[in-house]
Structure 1
Amino acid sequence: MTEALALRPRHRWTVAEYHRMAEVGLLHEDSRVELIDGEIIEMAPIGSEHAGHNNHLLSLLAYHLHGKAIVTGQNPVILGGYEEPQPDIALLRWRNDYYRTAHPHAEDVLLIIEISDSTLRYDRDVKIPLYAKNGIPEVWLLDIQNRQLEIQREPINGVYRQRDCRRAGQIAPILCPDAVIDLAKLFPNP
């Protein structure tokens, strides 16, 4: 891209426009894209290790939180007029309709979990600040390559004030303390 082109303003797609693109067939249902700051971003393919961690966490969280919270995987969350990411896992406030009538919004989110192997930098530099900016109370970043869980809490002015990194022990979401996860089960000895 030339420098002059980089300086030109870009059109930012709204969530409504993004949904309309899907309705008229410009985006296919099986497209692996998400809307970040008004731009349609192609998502990385999901490898087997990533999928396995996702399945394991979904199962554990659903077991602990049945009837208390909605546990969803790789589904949209609307974070404003220009953002609709698809986090790997989201814990949502309980609703009897399971969000059939509308996608969840930022105020519905209790915890977001991103599972990172090839997407670590994108998740840290783009998605976590996006979640902080939108007041998501807690984000976990499961770093597969380094076998650690990064925990970020207390969003203030677009930044998480509390940050922690764990390789062992147990952890529970602050808003769902019954959902205790044993990190030894996430990272068994190789």
Structure 2
Amino acid sequence: MPQTVQQPTENAPAPFRIIWTREDCERFENDGLLIPGKYELIEGEIIRKMPQNRPHSAGISRLFAWCLSVFTMDFVQTQAAINVSPEDNPTSFPEPDVFVLNRSIAYFTSAFPTPTDLELVAEVSDSTLAFDLSTKAGLYARAGSMEYWVLDVIGRALTVHREPSNGRYQSVVRYAADESVATLAKPAKQVVVSALLPPLAPVETKEEEN
């Protein structure tokens, strides 16, 4: 008959897993096995970027446009690579959907931004929400990124991560669509979360008066 057993208290050996590095990915690109911009390297795993659905791409566009309006075009980038913490750099090379620099893009013609160069890191999420709230949050917290936003286009909310310490964000606050938020860098520039999300109905443009 079936017997009740105790869950093992010691960690069992993990299945065989290959940890890829930036050098591996660069070699794969040179060999034509990977296409730049079509994948991310996160904690040693090569993650293929799926084609963006319309809500996801609309969320990126609206978040990017708002950041441009607040920080100007010389300080905002979208879907470009950044460095993380020294211990994570060899096996992670994320490309956030939007990030804001604290100095001009002109300083980064060859070098990649480091965590100390960033005012804000943001991801727009639909199917990757759990991953962005856990694995990527840990990656950015270990890097010391002071503010990390996750825009949830399905749940229509924004999760704001702040106060990185010991590899975790000590402050994690979820804002509903009708609530307002501002970045630490520009506290006077508040935005209603719904303004960053894909509109629920078509936005009609007013005809110009003669």
Instruction: Select the residue among 138, 143, 146 that pairs with 2:152.
Output: 143
Instruction: Select the residue among 16, 23, 31 that pairs with 2:23.
Output: 16
* Partner in structure 2 of residue 75 of structure 1: 80
Shift of residue 43 of structure 1?
2.2
Which stretches in structure 2 are left out of the alignment for 5+ residues? 1-12, 202-210
Does residue 125 (structure 1) correspond to residue 130 (structure 2)? The answer is: no
Instruction: Provide the secondary structure at the position in 2 that maps to 1:7.
Output: coil
Does residue 7 (structure 1) correspond to residue 10 (structure 2)? The answer is: no
Shift of residue 157 of structure 1?
0.3
The verdict on how the C-alpha distance between 1:184 and 1:42 changes in structure 2, with shifts beyond 3 A counting, is closer
CA distance in 2, matches of 1:16, 1:179: 41
* Residues paired across the two proteins, number: 184
Does residue 94 (structure 1) correspond to residue 100 (structure 2)? The answer is: no
Shift of residue 100 of structure 1?
1.5
* Partner in structure 1 of residue 184 of structure 2: 174
Partner amino acid for 1:52? Answer: A
* Partner in structure 2 of residue 62 of structure 1: 68
Deviations 1:29-78 (A, max 9, x none): 35x210111221112321111111111111111121116x6211111112
Decide whether the 8 Å contact of 1:61 with 1:179 is kept in 2.
Answer: no
CA distance in 2, matches of 1:18, 1:178: 42
* Partner in structure 2 of residue 40 of structure 1: 46
TM-score by length of 1: 0.85
TM-score by length of 2: 0.77
CA distance in 2, matches of 1:171, 1:76: 26
The verdict on how the C-alpha distance between 1:170 and 1:25 changes in structure 2, with shifts beyond 3 A counting, is same
Instruction: Select the residue among 161, 166, 170 that pairs with 1:157.
Output: 166
Q: CA RMSD in A?
A: 2.4
The verdict on how the C-alpha distance between 1:102 and 1:148 changes in structure 2, with shifts beyond 3 A counting, is same
CA distance in 2, matches of 1:62, 1:138: 17
CA distance in 1, matches of 2:141, 2:52: 25
Does residue 84 (structure 1) correspond to residue 93 (structure 2)? The answer is: yes
Instruction: Provide the secondary structure at the position in 1 that maps to 2:75.
Output: strand
Larger radius of gyration: 2
What fraction of aligned residue pairs are identical, expressed as a percent? Answer: 31
CA distance in 2, matches of 1:13, 1:106: 22
Shift of residue 6 of structure 1?
5.5
Instruction: Provide the secondary structure at the position in 2 that maps to 1:81.
Output: helix
Shift of residue 20 of structure 1?
3.8
